[in-house]
Amino acid sequence: MGQQAGDSFAVAILGFIVTGVGLPLLAVIAIAMTGRDVQHLAGRVHPKFGILFAIIAYLSIGPFMGIPRVANVSFEMGMRPFLPEPLQPNGWVLLAYTLAFFVLVYWLCLNPSKLVARIGKILTPLLLLSIAALFISAMMSPLGEAQPAVQEYATSPGVKGFMEGYLTLDAIAALAFGIIVVNAIRDQGVQDKRAITKSAVQAAVIAGVGLSLVYAALGWLGVTSVTEFGYAKNGGQLLTQIVQKLFGQSGLLLLAVIVTLACLTTCIGLVSACSQYFSTLFRRLSYNQVAFLTCVAGLLVANLGLNTILSVSVPVLLVIYPVAIVLLLMSLGHRLFGGRPSVYGGALIGTVLISLFDGLKEAKVPVEQVTEWLKHHLPLYEQGIGWVIPAIAGGIIGWLIGWVIGAIRNRGRAGSQASQYKD
């Protein structure tokens, strides 16, 4: 993003932070306010929708996108820079690496220990310090100057940054993992609902500030790197080149170790979370069986390569991310409309009707007639957020339907009570 946004980076990163940082914060707060998991939150629409959305969320952060992407980043930064030239494009190397990676992940998922937690506590500060060192070094010895923005960043940097924030998967991940934050606060002896929400908000804000600084620092490295390296295929390769340029082979080796271990612990967390959820949902499958299936699926998808995974992820995320955004905002305003399921349903139907065509268009499915009509008749569609107006309209229609149904029911109850009194 930093490379492509160039001299429009400031606007682009603000848009990116809205979806890459702001939405995850809202997700944690929404989960804290309910004190329940993502299935319960989405179940406010309908219990079956709650299950469906939870399944989509866990599959997204799990074997279909999140897990294989983590494995690929580990390969791109932990292994590929040290391979001899003949082995660089070799698919068998990626297969061998990811096979070993997932065997280790599966074994650690079956044998949980304090080792993973301890490694995580060490790795987080090390990773943050590494990024800080990179940023400071690049500030002192800039790699180059910002170039003019390219592609969509040249015309709508803020909106393009907003859309790129979808690729973090963080809002969906926060919905799935928000309950872990709530339970961690409860484990500290806090039981009052307001106190739990307050603590969750404080933790989320601190995490959000730190995450924003990390994204801004990494993005700025990209801004200054174009003249030195040209436009990279993905961020993993670019970060490797920057580290090697600034710190040499020793710095590259240190970052490779840190990132590989960080990816390993992250993957263990994702596999464990998915396995716990699906083994609870489908009771015929044990935790061990689901963990094995998750690792196998992650292995297969990982071998498509990081660039392919990212390109396939975009159409899917264009459909489900707006749904997650609307669900979050509706949850935060739950009391304003009495929590009527019809309001949730109306807003989400309006959202899906538009976001579905956005996803199909990105997947190169021929829907030009529909998208051209939407471009000329639907406000904000050309900017990539055409689902906003239909979501609002759907919510209003849902509120009216809920109000009418409620009035009919109340009249029926009043008539029944009058009849009993007469008798």
The answer on 125 and 164 residing in a single domain is yes
CB atoms within 10 A of CB 407: 10
pLDDT digits (tens, 9 = 90+) for 125-146: 888 888 888 889 888 888 888 8
The answer on 199 and 77 residing in a single domain is yes
pTM exceeds 0.75 for this model: yes
Of 272, 326, 9, 373, the closest CA to residue 161 belongs to 9
pLDDT digits (tens, 9 = 90+) for 307-331: 888 888 889 999 999 999 999 999 9
Instruction: Indicate the residue among 253, 282, 303 that finishes a domain.
Output: 303
Instruction: Indicate the residue among 286, 303, 320 that finishes a domain.
Output: 303
Helices 66-78 and 306-332: crossing angle in degrees, nearest 10, is 130
The answer on 298 and 315 residing in a single domain is no
pLDDT higher than threshold 90 for residue 122:
no
Q: What is the CATH number of the domain that holds 145?
A: 1.20.1740.10
User: Which tokens hold the place of 196?
Assistant: 């739990």
Higher-confidence residue of 410 and 276: namely 276
User: Which tokens hold the place of 305?
Assistant: 């390569």
83 pLDDT band, cuts 50/70/90, is confident
Instruction: Indicate the residue among 260, 283, 303 that finishes a domain.
Output: 303
The Cα–Cα gap between 124 and 208 comes to 15
Express as a percent the part of the chain with pLDDT over 70.
95
Tell me the average pLDDT of the chain.
Answer: 88
The answer on 339 and 247 residing in a single domain is no
pLDDT digits (tens, 9 = 90+) for 160-210: 999 899 888 888 988 888 888 888 888 888 888 889 889 988 988 999 999
Q: Which residues does 35 contact at the CB level (< 8 Å), separation at least 6?
A: 182, 193, 196
The answer on 223 and 128 residing in a single domain is yes
The answer to whether residues 397 and 346 touch, using CB atoms and an 8 Å cutoff, is yes
416 pLDDT band, cuts 50/70/90, is low
User: Which tokens hold the place of 353?
Assistant: 């009707």
The answer on 319 and 297 residing in a single domain is no
64 pLDDT band, cuts 50/70/90, is very high
The answer on 356 and 270 residing in a single domain is no
pLDDT higher than threshold 90 for residue 16:
yes
The answer on 316 and 193 residing in a single domain is no
Of 80, 355, 9, the closest CA to residue 241 belongs to 80
The answer on 365 and 282 residing in a single domain is no
The answer to whether residues 382 and 152 touch, using CB atoms and an 8 Å cutoff, is no
pLDDT at site 187: 84
Helices 388-422 and 341-362: crossing angle in degrees, nearest 10, is 160
Count of the separate structural domains present in the chain: 2
The answer on 125 and 100 residing in a single domain is yes
Domain that includes residue 320, residue range: 311-422
**Cα angle, residue 109 at apex, residues 104 and 110 outer, rounded to 5°:** 100
The answer on 395 and 369 residing in a single domain is yes
Beta-sheet strands, E only, within 111-229: none
The answer on 380 and 284 residing in a single domain is no
Sign of CA dihedral 165, 169, 175, 179: negative
The answer to whether residues 324 and 24 touch, using CB atoms and an 8 Å cutoff, is no
Q: Which residue has the tokens 């990116």?
A: 16
